[in-house]
Structure 1
Amino acid sequence: MLEFTATADLSNPDIARKYDHKLLFDYPLRQFRADGYSKDVQTLQADLPSFDRALQAILLSQYRRKLFEKQGLFIKPVILFKSKTIKDSNVFQEEFTKQLKTLSVDTLERLKQHNTNTIIKKVFDYCTLNNISLDNLIEEIKVDFDEDKQISVNSKDESETKQIAINTLEDEDNPYRAIFAVDKLNEGWDVLNLFDIVRLYNIRDAKKSIPGKTTMQEAQLIGRGARYCPFQLDESQPLYRRKFDKDEANEMRICEELYYHASYNPRYIQELNTALIEIGIKPPKTVQRELNIKHSFAQTNFYKSGFIFKNEQKKYNREDIFSLNRSIIEHTHEVKLQTGIVKQKKAFEDEPISETKVETKNKEYQLLDFGERIIRKALNKLDFYRFNNLQKHLPNLQSIKEFINSENYLAKIKINVKGIKSEIENLTPQQKLDIAIDVLDSVSLTIGSDKVEFKGTKEFKPFMMKDIIKNKTLNFALDDDISDKETGRSMLNATETNYPLDLTSRDWYAQTDCFGTSEEKALIQYIDSIYENLRQLYDDIYLVRNERHFKIFTFDDGRPFEPDFVLFLFCKKENLICQYQIFIEPKGAHLILQDEWKQDFLLQIRKLAKIEQLWQGREYNIWGLPFFNKSIAEQDTKFKEAFHKFMD
């Protein structure tokens, strides 16, 4: 028996004692948020009437809807309007409906003037860029938020129909965009497409700046609303995790954010933030950093007209499969026949009174020994072996006859049968059929378990460096309990980092700074320490930080991978200019085993990657190195031995 709970307050000694000997895994909300499985939470304060604050939420909601539709996604953003009392909620809903019907361009223009530096400005900019007039926007709002798209869940005696409606808001046939509520939804309500909560009252219940009960309940409501709404822009992106923490300029960033709209009340917002930090849905501190291309690097011929090579993820159509996996063909299946042994014993006595003894023996068969007719009958009894399904896994298979008789498929499968000597020498047709069904059922599980849907191409194609590596605005959560303490901290500032380096004076480093982990900064320091040795062998050297600028894909299953750095080395050999492109991944000790597949891929690249040498007088080479980790002696040695091949 297992218990799953999101509400075990392990800081309470009584609760901690209860769970101490039962706890298998503790995955707190702050780690859930840090791993990207929740929306980011933003607050938007406005010293405006309730309806105007509600209208700002509507504008953001419509903006998200348009962004989702632009990507071909059906995701309907919804808004929760939260009142203090049922009476207040009913009054506001009536006012909301009335004012929407008379909504004017002047009202939107007034909001536009109030929001020259907030997220709302993006809505108006998007409308201007896409030729959406304010008149048209108003008509959309009136239709999308009219009375038929509103639902009130204030009382404790709501109908079953309403209960179903508010718990299926993500369904395509659910029309509701606006939910009006008091406390009805404080517990047990999760909706992934909730993106805005509008607080329609302006009270505080904190004492000595410590959040009170109401504020904590509001924080918990925000925590439920912050559940991530899954979407992908392409198949290489994670479906259930945030994608744009390191791409603040991406317009889809707002689709990973929950906005909490409140009256202008800085003290309340401070108390709410304290509550959100306490429950783990917000980090103690966030910081935005600008990571830009150095002017000196931007002026190089390499950046202006050079290439970075990367491969692609392709749908795996299994066209290269002409047989079953060798592990299936070479495996000997064990089957035990019933022996007919009978034992008799008295109750409460340990030893049997009598026993029928028989002699048992093993005999090895090949499946084809049972005959094609028996095997066909066994295949017909298992749905997996319908030919159209079998061809999904084995697309080059031409017929069931080939499947049975070819040594690439079933013909060589071995079975070790154990049973009474007289029986296994002369198996009956029924016994052969039962054995064949048993073995084929086992084989089907192995065939079906191969879920590879993609592969990374071995061909690495050239892409213009200037189109891939660009300036970026990055967002970091400075949460020492969760992330590497170096994350988000500048290498240029010796007061905030343990790995200071004046990158402005290192022309070989392509960007203005590094805000990465301790291992990533240690790698830069290592390159700096051997730079002069490299300079004796190479004419140009550039280390480029990959802050989600590009992905490469594993050859075996097409998993996306964003190597942290790419080192470019250029030298002249006779009449050739040689370019080495080297992928480097610093890795913390706690992640080396977990991410071992990345290291395996990096080490495959040199042997398997292919580049068509299209430019006369130039030679391109791609390498990957073992993980960089300075604290594990064995890993450090592996990396340096591989790296020093460039200095031999």
Structure 2
Amino acid sequence: MATGSGKTLMMTGLILYLYQQGYRNFLFFVNSRNVIDKTRDNFLNDTSIKYLFNKSLTWQEKKITLREVDNFQTTDNDNINICFETIQGLHSRLNIPRENSITYEDFQEQKIVLISDEAHHINVETKSGAQLSKEEKSEINSWENTVNKIFEANSQNVLLEFTATIDRSNPCILNKYAPRLIFDYSLKDFRLGGYSKEIRVLQADAEPFDRALQAVLLNQYRRKIFEKNGHIIKPVILFKSKTIKESEEFQAQFIRDIATLTSDKLKEIKTNSKDESLIKSFEYFASNNISLDNLAAELQEDFSAEKTLSVNSQNESEKNQLAVNTLEDPKNEYRAIFAVDKLNEGWDVLNLFDIVRLYDTRDAKNNIPGPTTIREAQLIGRGARYCPFKINETDDPCQRKFDHDIQNEMRICEELYYHSNYNPRYIQELTSALVKTGIIPDNTTKKKLAIKKEFKNTEFYQSGLLFLNQLEKYPRNDVFELPSTIRDYPYEAFLRTNISLSRDLFESQIKENIETKKKDFRIKSLRLQTVKKALYKFEFYSFLNLKKWFPHLEKLEDFIEKKEYLREVKITVSGLASQLEKLNPEAELAVLVKIVGQIASGLTSSSSEFRGSKEFKSNLLKEKISDKELNFVLNESGDKESGKSMGGIETKIPLNLNDKP
């Protein structure tokens, strides 16, 4: 699954699913301690903004607790027990016996779910069919071998592997995963779905601090655009150096130069600006009466020393991991992160909008991007996660909104800027790597849709009116009953007979059959307490939620006993004649859970949260219909028809309509 497409969320769903299948013990392992700290917070810390489970978990009327354990020798069989470990630490604990440690016997005596994150790191042995590096050879006896050994210790163990980077070019790895790949969601698919930021590369033939200052200005402009449109979102910048020493030196320079920033320095940047977005940012500051003196003072405050963070050394990385993992939190004030490569994996910050490359080296050979360029492309992919926001109530907060209006001022809130020194060869190599990863398309075009001058000059365009209604929240005040399509649906349920049949393998047919009958029941004929018990199994039927759907309900009993709601719902039940005479409480509950689950699904899938208002307001035509610039991706998705406009890709236009009225 692509970086940022929800691997950790998928893990939580699978943990709950496998709990329902009888699994209680889960081992999460990865190659990096940083990823462990982040995932532990996501799984166990219910005060974290990135906590992924519901605050309250129940299964079969019992509350479930998530517990962190060191081993599986004395685990709680009612709850979810999770052990977090690095793959290196796991190997060490299994092969060097110590007190209260995980042992191979743990994996033999009880079934365990192994969750491997960044799973490409456990393919060293598989890759041995190809040529291995010296570093990879040293790992053969530890990582993949250890995982295989504990997975195979019990036939009921489950191994789930998650990665964003399967090396499909290696035939050994391709053969390993071809028969077991469950889900494949590439970065390209992620971007095509509109779930990533768009990438822009900004080159500047300037000193590192001047490039950094350009990023700071765009970052601050973006913050103001968010605020202008009602969103309290704090954009973040990553400053990437080649070595720790260089990173430390630049951080010190950045803090010093920001503290002494003057309007003259900003004026110099403004004078030299050629980038459209930088020009727009200065125009915005000026139009909002923010003088360069005031802007300098604002940047000194927002990017002061205490709002910068280094994650270079191991100690810094571990100490600051939670701060780096919660950069979206309004209480987290960090704006600038300084790093070399500690954030290459496991970092999932959404409000990263600028990456500044502080070095100027290339590692391509024969026009093929080298490993450093590929890692930079992967980092850009990590930073390209979309920062969610809405403009209208019906917007999907996690999807791009301005692909068809790229001149909109909020378009910059959907873009990640990669700032580098002016180096066309490097940018060409980086672009090649970005196309290969799928985070940028290999063929795009921008098109301007311009309204003809003759039409703009007409009285109709200048003073004509367009009447529009609005989307509004549907208050449901006119809802007094279950929709008849749901209330009168022919529901069916089947009771297990628990009868066993035997047959002779050499006989052509079974001599006995299980004879079942059907009988209709109305919910009004079933026990009130059993109906309530079935409803309590679904969050949908909490009275607070039911009131949103049916505002005139006064109590839960009305929903069960009134003919406008559940009372007359008919269920045809199949089972043995003896079972159908009078349903026992267990059978009643099983039937009801199935049917009220179907009713909840039917309601949520068929009802709209919004509707069009009955009032239409007048708008000037010229304010609603104007020139636009659109972004098109050409011939990228094989299941879409493609074509070329008459207006401009070919030099010879078959039918020129430009001069027609």
Give the TM-score taking structure 1 as reference length.
Answer: 0.67
1:322 alignment partner AA: F
1:453 is matched with 609
Q: Which residue of 1 aligns with 2:548?
A: 392
Return closer, same or farther for 1:143/1:373 CA change in 2, 3 Å cut-off: closer
User: Does the CA-based 8 Å contact 1:170-1:193 persist in structure 2?
Assistant: yes
- Aligned residue for 2:379, secondary structure, equals helix
Corresponding residue for residue 173 of structure 1: 331
1:42 pairs with one of 200, 207, 213: 200
Deviation (angstroms), 1:479:
5.5
Instruction: Give the deviation of 1:57 after TM superposition.
Output: 0.9
Aligned to 1:242: 400
- Which consecutive residues of structure 2, in runs of 5 or more, have no partner in the other structure? 1-158
Which range moves more in the overlay, 470-479 or 328-337?
Answer: 328-337
* Cα pair 1:490 1:496 within 8 Å, conserved: no
Match of 2:261 among 103, 121, 125: 103
Alignment-derived partner of residue 149 in structure 1: 307
Q: Is the 8 A contact 2:521 2:571 kept in 1?
A: yes
What is the match of residue 189 of structure 1? 347
Judge conservation of contact 1:34–1:482 (CA < 8 Å) in 2.
no
RMSD over aligned Cα atoms: 3.8
Answer yes or no: is 1:162 the counterpart of 2:316: no
Choose from 462, 475, 483 the match for 2:631. 475
CA distance in 2, matches of 1:217, 1:494: 35
Q: Which residue of 2 aligns with 1:506?
A: 660
1:201 aligned residue: 359
Q: Do the aligned partners of 2:218 and 2:278 also contact (CA within 8 Å) in 1? A: yes
Provide the residue aligned with 1:411 in structure 2: 567
CA contact (8 A) 1:64 1:254 kept: yes
CA apart distance, 1:170: 1.5
Task: State the distance in 2 between where 1:190 and 1:378 align.
Answer: 39
Distance 1:122 1:87 in 2: 35
**In structure 1, distance between residues paired with 2:500 and 2:446:** 77
| In 2, Cα distance between equivalents of 1:31 and 1:389 | 35
Native 8 Å contact 2:441 2:636 kept in 1 = no
Tell me which of 482, 485, 495 is aligned to 2:650: 495
State the partner residue of 1:523. Answer: none
| Aligned equivalents of 2:538, 2:442: Cα separation in 1 | 56
Q: Evaluate the alpha carbon distance shift between residue 87 and residue 451 of structure 1 in structure 2; reply closer, same or farther with a 3 A threshold.
A: farther
Tell me if structure 1 keeps the 8 A contact 2:373–2:433. Answer: yes
Secondary structure, counterpart of 2:282 in structure 1:
helix
Contact 1:478 1:485 in 2 (8 A): no
Q: What's the offset of the Cα at 1:196?
A: 0.9
Instruction: Please tell me whether the aligned partners of residues 310 and 316 of structure 2 are also in contact (alpha carbons under 8 angstroms).
Output: no
Task: Work out the CA distance in 2 between the residues paired with 1:228 and 1:47.
Answer: 29
* 8 Å Cα contact 1:41/1:257 also seen in 2: yes
CA positional deviation for 1:198: 1.1
Shift of 1:25: 5.8
Contact 1:284 1:479 in 2 (8 A): no
Once the two structures are superposed, the pairs formed by residues 517-596 of structure 1 within 5 Å of their partners are none
Q: Is the 8 A contact 1:75 1:193 kept in 2?
A: yes
Q: Following TM superposition, by how much is the alpha carbon of 1:278 offset from its aligned partner in structure 2, in angstroms?
A: 2.6
Spell out, residue by residue over 1:572-608, the C-alpha distance to the aligned partner (whole angstroms, 9 max, x if none): xxxxxxxxxxxxxxxxxxxxxxxxxxxxxxxxxxxxx
Q: How much has 1:389 moved relative to structure 2?
A: 3.0
Cα 1:480–1:129 change in 2 (3 A) is same
Could you tell me which residue of structure 2 aligns to residue 257 of structure 1?
415
Alignment deviations for residues 321-361 of structure 1 (CA, whole Å, 9 cap, x no partner): 2221223322344456787x777999x9999xxxx999975
Structure 1 residue 52 displacement after superposition: 1.5
**Greater alpha carbon shift after TM alignment, 430-439 vs 251-260:** 430-439
For structure 1, list consecutive stretches of 5 or more residues without a partner in the other structure.
508-648
Shift of 1:6: 2.4
1:530 is aligned to none
- Aligned partners of 2:536, 2:241: CA distance in 1, in Å? 63
- Partner of 1:512 in structure 2? none
Structure 1 residue corresponding to 2:476, chosen from 293, 300, 318 = 318
SS at the partner of 1:506? coil
Equivalent-residue separation in structure 1 for 2:372 and 2:618 (angstroms):
57
Q: Does 1:57 align with 2:212?
A: no
Write the distance in 2 (CA, Å) between the matches of 1:265 and 1:6.
29
- Name the aligned partner's letter for residue 359 of structure 2: Y
Deviations 1:159-199, CA, capped at 9 Å, x for gaps = 53312221221222222111111122223323221111111
Q: Which moved more, 1:306-315 or 1:217-226?
A: 306-315
Aligned to 2:521: 365
> What TM-score comes out, normalization by structure 2 length?
0.66
What is the aligned partner in structure 2 of residue 233 from structure 1?
391
SS in 1 for 2:316: coil
The answer to whether the Cα contact below 8 Å between 1:192 and 1:225 also exists between their aligned partners in 2 is: yes
Checking the alignment, whether the CA contact within 8 Å between 2:390 and 2:396 is kept in structure 1 is yes
Residue 63 of structure 1 and its aligned partner are, at CA, apart by 0.8
- State the match for 1:611 in structure 2: none
How big is the shift at 1:475?
2.9
Q: Are the counterparts in 1 of residues 373 and 429 from structure 2 also a CA contact under 8 Å?
A: yes
The answer to whether 1:124 aligns with 2:282 is: yes
SS at match of 1:473: strand
Q: How many residues align?
A: 500
Q: Determine which structure has more spread, i.e. the larger CA radius of gyration.
A: 1
Tell me the residue number matched to 1:571.
none
Q: What's the secondary structure of 1:202's corresponding residue? A: coil
Going from structure 1 to structure 2, the CA distance change for 1:486 and 1:338 (only over 3 Å counts) comes to closer
Taking only the aligned residue pairs, the percentage that are identical comes to: 50
Deviates more, 1:369-378 or 1:85-94: 369-378
Aligned 8 A contact 2:219 2:237 in 1: yes
* Of 207, 229, 243, the match for 1:71: 229
Contact 2:247 2:338 (C-alpha < 8 Å) held by counterparts: yes
Aligned residue number for residue 292 of structure 1: 450
Q: Distance in 1 between matches of 2:574 and 2:634?
A: 63
Q: CA deviation at 1:397?
A: 3.4
- Paired with 1:268 and 1:295, the residues of 2 have a C-alpha distance of 43
Equivalent position amino acid for 1:222 in 2: I
Pick closer, same or farther for the CA change 1:307–1:380 going to 2, 3 Å: same
Distance 1:345 1:62, change over 3 A: same
What pairs up with 1:7-26 in 2 under 5 angstroms? Answer: 7-23=165-181, 26=184
CA distance in 2, matches of 1:458, 1:5: 50
Q: CA 1:430–1:37 in 2, change beyond 3 Å: closer, same or farther?
A: closer
Distance 1:102 1:9 in 2: 48
SS of alignment partner, residue 164 of structure 1: helix
The one-character-per-residue Cα deviations of 1:112-140 (angstroms, maximum 9, x if unpaired) are: 11115542222211111001122221222
Could you tell me which residue of structure 1 aligns to residue 148 of structure 2? none
Q: 2:239 aligns with which of 81, 87, 100?
A: 81
Following TM superposition, by how much is the alpha carbon of 1:319 offset from its aligned partner in structure 2, in angstroms?
Answer: 2.6
Partner residue, 2:21: none
SS at match of 1:80: strand
Aligned partners of 2:265, 2:299: CA distance in 1, in Å?
A: 13
Are the aligned partners of 2:311 and 2:317 in contact in 1 as well (CA < 8 Å)? no
Q: Which has the larger displacement, 68-77 or 461-470? A: 461-470
Please tell me the residue identity of whatever aligns with 2:489.
H
> Which 10-residue stretch deviates more, 329-338 or 39-48?
329-338
> Residues 435-446 of structure 1 correspond to what in structure 2 (within 5 A)?
440=596, 443-444=599-600, 446=602
Change (3 A) 1:381 1:91: closer
Cα distance in 2 between the residues matched to 1:254 and 1:77: 11
Tell me, in whole angstroms, the C-alpha distance in 2 between the residues paired with 1:458 and 1:58. Answer: 46
CA distance in 2 between partners of 1:436 and 1:219 (Å): 53
Alpha-carbon distance in 1 for matches of 2:533, 2:431: 67
Q: Greater CA deviation, 17-26 or 187-196?
A: 17-26
Which residue in 1 is equivalent to 2:78? none
